[in-house]
């Protein structure tokens, strides 16, 4: 028998597979397809202080080995997430959930995190300082060590639950930014968010996405994500949630060897709704194939 259990920021979960924010809604849509309690946990849709309609359409473009999206943090706002979405989720998911939070000012992050910190079902706060699709917010905090430190420090002062800071890959020194977050008290790092990209329509000769640029995700970015997780593992002592192009159980093992304690699966859910369930079901077979008895033993094993 193999052991797939891991501990993420002091909370034990059954396996390291976590659907990424923005690809799994608030869970109950997927609960119509399979029992989502097989998941380690999941990161729910990015939540902001106020409701957001998101970016104008079109906001998705297909690419070879991936996709571009510029949804723009469409969500009903934190009050409605607490009053409407979490009660619905509690009917279908009996584990702790990861709350993904975005903001446009430090005060926004603090307000939203403070609210969600009080919710019993929330286990972790995943603070997204890396959204590449919102003008004037989100990623601007994730592109410098100073601003990443500032957001982390403020959120940690206002909350009790583990805070995981989600980092952008669209920077020159992701390890330095991760270290700044650790110094500010972060309990974990999640990475990478999408890479900036663009497609152009040959007939109209204009960008396909109304936002012009979008976040590129999918299997093509896996090597970039592996490299960045490897670098950050050497720079920090706190756990890393690795993501970027993961679609198989083999990808999970590779990401963990690079230094991830857990992994998030994003674009794969949009192509194959059973992606996370299939990865979890296949994990014991792949562990046995490579002589792995306990997943905890391989974290950072490539170093």
Helix axes 174-183, 222-233, angle to 10 degrees: 50
Count Cβ atoms below 10 Å from residue 154 Cβ, excluding itself: 17
Three-state DSSP state, 294: strand
DSSP structure class, residue 143: S
Distance CA 295, CA 4 (A): 6
Any idea which residues carry the catalytic annotation?
A: 131
Structure tokens at 62: 């297909």
Helix axes 275-289, 249-258, angle to 10 degrees: 70
From residue 146, how far is each of 103, 123, 143, 181, 228 by CA, in Å? Answer: 17, 27, 9, 9, 20
């Amino acid at each position: 028998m193999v052991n797939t259990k891991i501990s993420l920021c002091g909370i034990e979960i059954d396996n390291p597979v976590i659907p990424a924010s923005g690809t799994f809604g608030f869970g109950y849509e997927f609960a119509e397809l399979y029992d989502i309690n097989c998941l380690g946990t999941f990161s729910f849709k990015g939540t902001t202080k106020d409701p957001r309609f998101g970016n104008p359409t079109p906001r998705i473009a297909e690419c070879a080995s991936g996709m571009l999206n510029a949804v723009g943090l469409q969500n009903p706002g934190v009050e409605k997430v607490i009053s409407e979405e979490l009660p619905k989720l509690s009917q279908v998911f009996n584990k702790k959930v990861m709350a993904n939070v975005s903001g446009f000012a430090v005060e926004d992050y603090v307000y939203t995190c403070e609210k969600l910190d009080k919710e019993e079902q929330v286990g972790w706060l995943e603070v997204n300082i890396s959204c590449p699709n919102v003008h004037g917010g989100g990623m601007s905090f994730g592109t410098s060590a100073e601003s990443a430190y500032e957001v982390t420090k403020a959120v940690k002062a206002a909350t009790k639950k583990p805070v995981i800071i989600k980092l952008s890959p669209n920077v020159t020194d992701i390890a330095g930014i991760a270290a700044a977050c650790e110094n500010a008290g972060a309990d974990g790092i999640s990475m990478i968010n999408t890479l900036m990209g663009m497609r152009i329509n040959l007939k109209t000769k204009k960008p396909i996405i109304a936002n012009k640029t979008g976040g590129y995700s999918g299997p093509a970015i896996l090597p970039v994500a592996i490299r960045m997780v490897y670098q950050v593992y050497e720079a920090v002592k706190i756990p890393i949630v690795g993501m970027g192009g993961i679609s198989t159980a083999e990808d999970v093992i590779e990401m963990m060897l690079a230094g991830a304690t857990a992994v998030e699966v994003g674009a794969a859910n949009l192509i194959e709704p059973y992606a996370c369930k299939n990865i979890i079901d296949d994990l014991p077979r792949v562990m046995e194939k490579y002589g792995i008895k306990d997943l905890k033993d391989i974290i950072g094993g490539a170093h």
